[in-house]
Amino acid sequence: MNGESLLAGIRVLDLTNVLSGPFATVHLALLGAEVIKIENPAGGDLARKLGCVPGFNRKLMGTSYLAQNANKKSMTLNLKTPEGKEIFRTLVKGADVLVENFRPDVMKRLGLAYDVLAGINPRLIYCAISGFGQTGPDALKPAYDQIIQGLSGEMAINGDERLHPLRSGFPVCDTVGGLNAAFAVMAALYGRERTGEGQFIDVALLDSIMPLMGWVVANLMIGGQQPVLMGNENFTAAPSGVFRTRDGYINIAANKQEQWESVADVLGLPELKADARFRERDDRKKNRKELTPLLEEKLMQGETAAWVEKLNDSDVPAGAILTLEGAVHQPQVAHRDAFATVAVPGIGDLRVFNLTAKFSKTPARVTAPPPALGEHTRDLLGEIGYTEEDVSRLKEAGVV
């Protein structure tokens, strides 16, 4: 198996749009699965029109789309037409996985619900991603990432007393929902190896974000402690958070007693180690507002890079706070091959995400650019017996 893609031979029908679903399926595509985007002929995935480059949007290759659709194929198919449904059912016969992120009633209304498709292919793994799940009092409500951020409590624990509630700077609920779905599909594929049977997977964005708040939720549900709005401070330790330097800011995470003592020594403040306000962990947490100015007075006498080096040399976790541009171009990110260069026809060479998990025997890689809308329709229809004349007729009828 050395060198072969981990999911070679696995076919995925991807009916997803925008972020949560495409983020799930791009992980499967990078692992070597054949991921076929089934897109409506009238514009396809909405993300094709979303992004900061209007010219790309007009080409239906928006930056939002380009970010999570490498290694996939695109096939246009109108699932509201009888022939479109017939073609889709034929594709299901040879598929291993189906992923969709419609509202829970959409596939049922199309006559393509899991029970119907499982009758065609009992080995099919069907993953449905939605805001609230397939059942329950809120199941049919519309949901975007920001709605879930608010309903999950995630916005309520961000910020400080001045800026609150506070939305995460990227669509964290959509993204983690996609990761949850990819994880679930991989588990179901493993289970199918033992049982020979597929199954239905119900992934909700609201459910998916909850475990990410584990410590905060545990403090509330187990310890009875309400979350405290602390901005850039770490509620578990002090000094642990963001501090000013001469030329910017630095993150310091002195979460252990010996790390705190090293911070005091590196900053030339050894007397603070014996100060009753700061001697023990819980005392420092209670008196962090008194401690921070004392540390910043010293930190502002030097530059961030120098302090990072001195603190790291003393086994204290510390790091600069980079701009996004600085972050994506830092040497460690380059060393880890977090991005790959891919040539996109009509656009040029672009940097897109690689799989961030590194496999020693089955490395994942970007092998193809995000596809143009319907780029593979003719080839895929040809595989299941449709002629060029058939394809032309289907196009005329608005089926593809």
**DSSP letters spanning 279-328:** SSHHHHHHTHHHHHHHHHHHHTTS-HHHHHHHHHHTT--EEE---HHHHH
Q: Which residues, listed in sequence order, are joined to residue 39 by a DSSP beta bridge?
A: 76
Residues 295, 260: Cα–Cα separation, whole Å: 11
- Tokens 């990410």 found at: 212
Neighbours of 382 (CB within 10 A): 14
Looking at the annotation, which residues are catalytic? 174
Residues 232, 243: Cα–Cα separation, whole Å: 9
In the numeric block, which tokens belong to residue 397? 């009828």
Q: What is the DSSP letter of 369?
A: P
Evaluate whether 315 touches 259 at the Cβ level (below 8 Å): yes
Residues 281, 362: Cα–Cα separation, whole Å: 45
Residues 107, 102: Cα–Cα separation, whole Å: 8
At residue 161, φ and ψ (nearest 5 deg) are: -65, -15
Cis peptide before 239 (omega within 30 of 0): yes
CA 160 and chain centroid, separation: 26
